[in-house]
Amino acid sequence: MKTLLGTFSIILFLLIQTLPAQNRFSISLGGGTLFSSIETISSSVDQTKLPYWNNGYLITMSGEYKMSDKLSLYLSTSWQKHYYHENLVQFAHVALAGYDYSISGEKSTLYELSAGGRFYLSESNIKPYVGIGIGTLLINQGKIEISSWIGSNTNKWVNLWQDSDKTYLLMQINLNIGLEYNLSQNLSLVLNGQLITGLWDGPLYFPVTTSLKLGL
């Protein structure tokens, strides 16, 4: 997370140095929730890379440069946590008298980086917009462990679930729609909804965030 934020900050700093001083550059910081699609929840590990995790929360940071009153370019990153859900694990256990088991899991962590453009539909204090971007998803799956025992649970066998605790780096594309409300000349409140699709069997999910945007 520190490496990603450090790289992002350096890119933003270099970008600011190359831009004309016309107060067209802004930075945003916010957070929100994310929702997995029904297709993701019901798909296998080979189709999503996140078959046992759905919904969660995220923190976002972005920089934006307005090329005109209606068109802008942005660079954004987010740190995401996806919840583990035990009922999504399909475990076929042995039919043996006295046999029992339990399943425990951790949240998965995603790091998202994207660049793209936004088109503003209005120039008033309330500005709806649409946008499109492309970037990467670094998926760090949480660990899922299955503990099993026969009779007393004092002696357990603990095994790592085969489709967990893995790392994937994927390309992603995203569509976003949002609303920006000017609180003052240099400060805005931004509501943003995204559809993120990971390529090469990546996940499909919907982050919804609220951010404060500061003009520089």
Q: Which two tokens stand for residue 178?
A: 């949002």
d(CA 176, CA 198): 15
For range 147-160, the mean pLDDT: 71
d(CA 71, CA 5): 26
Q: What's the confidence (pLDDT) of residue 21?
A: 45
d(CA 36, CA 56): 9
Per residue in 84-123, pLDDT (tens digit) is 887 777 766 666 666 777 788 889 999 999 999 999 998 8
Using alpha carbons, list the distances in angstroms from residue 170 to 3, 31, 115, 144, 203: 18, 22, 15, 22, 10
- Quote the pTM value: 0.78
Nearest to 115 by CA among 96, 136, 128, 134: 134
List the domains of the chain with CATH numbers: 2-215 (2.40.160.20)
pLDDT-derived band at 166, boundaries 50, 70, 90 = confident
Q: What's the confidence (pLDDT) of residue 200?
A: 76
Report yes or no: 81 and 56 within 8 Å, Cβ to Cβ. Answer: yes
Per residue in 180-194, pLDDT (tens digit) is 999 988 899 999 999
